[in-house]
Amino acid sequence: MTRVRDLAEGDLPAWRALFQAYGAFYETAFDDAHLDHVGKLLVRPGSGVSAFVAEDDDGRVIGFAHYRAHPDTFSSGSDWFLDDLFVDPAARGRGVATALIAHLAAHARAVAPGGTLRWITAASNEGAQRVYDRVASRTTWVTYELRP
């Protein structure tokens, strides 16, 4: 059974390996300085970004979800953004991604009800989309980006 909990500092070596695999999936190589920086952000309270990890029955970290909250201008709650979600390929098909999303949704409801949880994925990531289509509504919004 999958257990989801807050990322702890002791999880960083396992998280690091998973985050590198996540980057490789999106054809991005993270150098050590980047991994150190992100890892420190994720375990520092108040940094603006947090993480949950999923672990298997043996306590091995097999997935993560990075998330953040921000005030919502359309409601009285907070909006939540799932920045990154990754599950070890060997653990896929066991509901780990679904458990991570459900845990984040429950956390959001408990901390600041009334907002929306959103995320994006690559158009080519059909495996993730099959999971996301089961647990959430696909929107019609178009995403843009600009690097200032």
CATH number reported for the structural domain that contains residue 37 in this entry: 3.40.630.30
Strand order in the sheet with 3-6: 3-6, 50-55, 61-71, 78-87, 117-119
DSSP character string of 38-87: HHHHHHSTTSS-EEEEEE-TT--EEEEEEEEEEE-SSSSSEEEEEEEEEE
Quick check: 115 and 80 in contact, CB under 8 A?
yes
Contact 57, 1 (CB under 8 A): yes
For the chain, residues with pLDDT lower than 50 are: none
pLDDT digits (tens, 9 = 90+) for 70-111: 988 887 778 999 999 999 999 999 999 999 999 999 999 999
Nearest Cα neighbor of 50 from 35, 36, 67, 69 is 67
Name the nearest CA neighbour of 66 among 28, 127, 18: 18
Q: What is the pLDDT of residue 72?
A: 87
In the chain, the number of structural domains is 1
Residue 147 in domain: no
Do the domain assignments include residue 74? yes
133 neighbors 101 (Cβ within 8 angstroms): no
pLDDT score, position 5 = 98
140: in domain: no
Mean of all residue pLDDT scores within the chain: 95
Give residue 43's pLDDT.
97
pTM of this prediction? 0.94
Which structural domain range is residue 60 located in? 3-135
Q: Does the residue 144 lie in any domain? A: no
Looking at residue 78, its pLDDT comes to 87
Q: Is residue 146 part of a domain?
A: no
Structure tokens at 88: 């070890």
What pLDDT does 50 receive? 98
Q: Is residue 143 part of a domain?
A: no
* Domain membership flag for residue 108: yes
Q: What is the pLDDT of residue 92?
A: 96
Is the residue at 94 inside a domain?
Answer: yes
| Distance between start and end Cα atoms, the chain | 44
